[in-house]
Copies of this chain bind each other. A is one copy, B any other.
Amino acid sequence: MNHKFAIAIHGGAGTILRSNMTEAMQMAYEKGLEAALHAGIAVLKNGGRSIDAVEEAIKVLEDCELFNAGRGSVFNHIGKHEMDAAIMEGAQKRAGAVAGVGHVKNPISLARAVMEKSEHVMLAARGAEDFGRAHGEVFCEDAYFFTEQRYEQWQEALKNNNITLDHSDKKFGTVGAVALDVYGNLAAGTSTGGMTNKQYGRIGDSPIIGAGTYADNNTCAISCTGHGELFMRAVVGHDIACLMEYKGCTLHEACDILVHDKLIKIGGEGGLIGIDKHGHIAMPFNSEGMYRGCADSSGMLMISIYKD
């Protein structure tokens, strides 16, 4: 045991501007992020495992209707909620992911069930839901996922025939967490409600192991939020791990190469959170803002939204 633990979370990146935010809204977002961090810390400070901390922190974000994941998921083209999630642990590099699932309260828990209770890594749509029902996951009616704000965004998108990444402004609605526990184990998880008015069963980077979600005890745990297609083509999570393992980069150097160089060059807007085995945390983004927070066993706790 190294007795040190650390956790970082995000609630999405994008064009988040102070000028568009009321004080009450900002406080609500900060409160949501803080609750998620505390859920993770509660696990870690009692000697719990990083995979549990990641799941608990993400469940809080999924249950909060402000974030585009779980309860707060956006409406797709036909007025449904199609969610994706992935989780990975760094000791054995086991992973679970679900794509295009509806009605499940906590997609991150379903992804974990896939990891632990199936022989598979990734299950999709109806099949993933059937698997979840067979393994005791909680399912909710459409009403649980209904929020006036998301409904209006959808109506607006339908009217304009737009597919938007989260709100009417350019925002990548995703939540995620990465953690190091006192046993030196890393874990990462990501969950999203996708794009408003999305069609064609689009799958983004969140549930793709190596792209939006990756964890390896030897290097780092990563959770991304951004323009998913470009994050998939750049295999962002795994590329950061390889820059550390094969090129000797630090976590910060590797994250900066991805976020401020490689992704910029291909127009990949967004950000990510990363943690290494020493508990170092990186939270870079190339967008206007990223809902984010981190904490560790020294008592440090930080929540932030803008660049400042």
* Copies of this chain, whole number: 2
- Interface size counted on chain A using CB atoms at 8 A: 44
| A124 and B100 within 8 A (CB) | yes
Determine whether A251 belongs to the interface, using a CB cutoff of 8 Å to chain B.
Answer: no
| B238 and A123 within 8 A (CB) | no
Out of B94, B99, B229, which one reaches A124, CB within 8 Å? B99
| B233 and A202 within 8 A (CB) | no
Out of B121, B201, B235, which one reaches A229, CB within 8 Å? B121
The interface-forming segment of A25-33, A64-72, A175-183, A206-214 is A206-214
Determine whether A3 belongs to the interface, using a CB cutoff of 8 Å to chain B.
Answer: no
Out of B126, B204, B232, B239, which one reaches A201, CB within 8 Å? B126
Determine whether A118 belongs to the interface, using a CB cutoff of 8 Å to chain B.
Answer: yes
Q: Determine the distance from Cα of A14 to Cα of B238 in the docked complex, in whole angstroms.
A: 27
Distance to closest chain B CB from A266 (angstroms): 8
| A209 and B209 within 8 A (CB) | no
The interface-forming segment of A48-56, A143-151, A242-250, A274-282 is A242-250
Determine whether A60 belongs to the interface, using a CB cutoff of 8 Å to chain B.
Answer: no
Out of B122, B127, B239, B246, which one reaches A247, CB within 8 Å? B246
Using CB atoms, name the residue of chain B closest to A118.
B200
A170-203 vs B, CB cutoff 8 Å, 1 = contact: the mask equals 0000000000000000000000000000011111
Determine whether A18 belongs to the interface, using a CB cutoff of 8 Å to chain B.
Answer: no
Chain B residues within 8 Å of A202, by CB: 120, 122-124, 127
Q: Determine the distance from Cα of A228 to Cα of B203 in the docked complex, in whole angstroms.
A: 18
Using CB atoms, name the residue of chain B closest to A227.
B119
Determine whether A139 belongs to the interface, using a CB cutoff of 8 Å to chain B.
Answer: no
| B233 and A95 within 8 A (CB) | yes
Determine whether A128 belongs to the interface, using a CB cutoff of 8 Å to chain B.
Answer: yes
Using CB atoms, name the residue of chain B closest to A77.
B127
Determine whether A306 belongs to the interface, using a CB cutoff of 8 Å to chain B.
Answer: no
Interface residues of A (CB under 8 A from B): 88, 93-95, 99-100, 118-128, 130-131, 163, 199-204, 208-211, 214, 228-229, 232-235, 238-239, 242-243, 246-247, 266
21 A/B residue pairs, CB under 8 Å, sorted by A: A100-B124, A100-B125, A118-B200, A119-B163, A120-B200, A121-B203, A121-B232, A122-B203, A123-B200, A123-B201, A124-B124, A125-B201, A209-B211, A209-B233, A210-B235, A235-B238, A238-B238, A239-B242, A242-B242, A243-B246, A247-B247
